[in-house]
Homo-oligomer: A and B are copies of this chain.
């Protein structure tokens, strides 16, 4: 009550427009988690309605509600799973609408994640704090003044949104222009090729993985240039905005030959190192497990095997493209993919999953415990103990969501755990790869998987923010007691 009154007094003399803006900003920063959920639910409702219009389908028929909701959610959450054939079911206009949805979803989640995970929750200046996490010298910027009035806060949100959108545009256009010549080589007319190049680039950077052309990836299955560009797009999208910012800052410093030492923040180092480790481990695992599987990537020489295994490994980060039928993978490879998709990509990125820093924190904790260190450390920095609690919360949330969704879908369909768990984790981690299970679902199953996609995309981000935001003061201390563990 006191807070609200004070706010009323402070703003009473301002014009209505400013008050509305400040009110919105206040709501966004006071309950960032609820704000994020509202925005995403709103976007999904709008795009479901749009996709239900008759002009959206190739044959002019109205799409089933369950399929429209599923597609809208899959697009907004940049998941990439589909219950209809994405290339043939929708009209040209439908494709445009879906691409717009993925762009809004990707930029929206990038911005929200950046805002919430880093900033609003800790009650600090938005932009400073976000840039600090990706900055070359975090110690200096951390002490930068934070302007905390609602008006300046909304200005910061706007600035951040613009920066994120601009980065996305620059990368997507860059990748599209590099893809273009290769598509022209296939004899595609220039305008169609431009659209196709941009579609592929957007689906890669946003980590969606929809394929809109009827031939799909078929012409480029062995093309190192084409697949390589898709990989770069997916990695840049999945590594997270703070890391992209740090990399571009680094590039700038080098260009002007600055003498300032380019230092990466702990977050950037952790993300980059864990991502590289996961990519290498994934590629190695797929190379070994699929070496003899001629239906997927085996039996065509070591270069083909290694390159395709790396492509597959990158796509689990949560790109979602595939050069073969995922259902043909050995069951062991499906399990490896499950694990990689569950981990997902970087924080404040277009990728999903519990995030690479989360798993890194768990291993750092175990390592510290094994060495008997009193504190968790990485790259000569100490990591506060409450970060581990946050990581454990995110993993428990993810495991619970995946378990519940799997149990319900197993019981609904009677399908095998191999197929169900794969598509559920793909939905949760917004990876978008599928064994074919998703396409076989009836309406109740589609709704369960829609909910799983939403939980996976919104859950970890808002959970982390909501938890980080709710710092209570302890009024008294308890006697300490140690239970046995393990």
Contact = CB atoms under 8 A, between A and B. Distances in A.
B414 A484 contact: no
A264 to B, nearest CB: 11
A331 B417 CA distance: 7
A369 B393 contact: yes
A477 interface: yes
Interface string A31-59: 00000000000000000000000000000
Main SS at interface, chain A: helix
A486 B118 CA distance: 11
Interface in A374-396: 374-377, 380-394, 396
A315 interface: no
A117 interface: yes
A42 to B, nearest CB: 23
A138 interface: yes
A484 B381 contact: no
A484 B267 contact: yes
Contact of A331 (B360, B393, B416): B416
A380 B478 contact: yes
Interface residues of A, number: 93
A200 to B, nearest CB: 29
B357 A117 contact: no
A485 B335 contact: no
A281 B45 CA distance: 35
Interface string A328-372: 001110111001000000011000001101101111011011111
A199 B74 CA distance: 56
Given A381-B478, A382-B477, A480-B384, A354 B486 contact: yes
Contacts of A480: 381-384
Interface stretch (A211-219, A248-256, A405-413, A441-449): A405-413
8 contacts: A267-B482, A330-B411, A332-B410, A339-B403, A387-B485, A388-B388, A390-B486, A392-B392
Given A265-B481, A387-B482, 8 more contacts: A267-B483, A335-B407, A357-B484, A362-B396, A371-B470, A382-B478, A382-B480, A383-B482
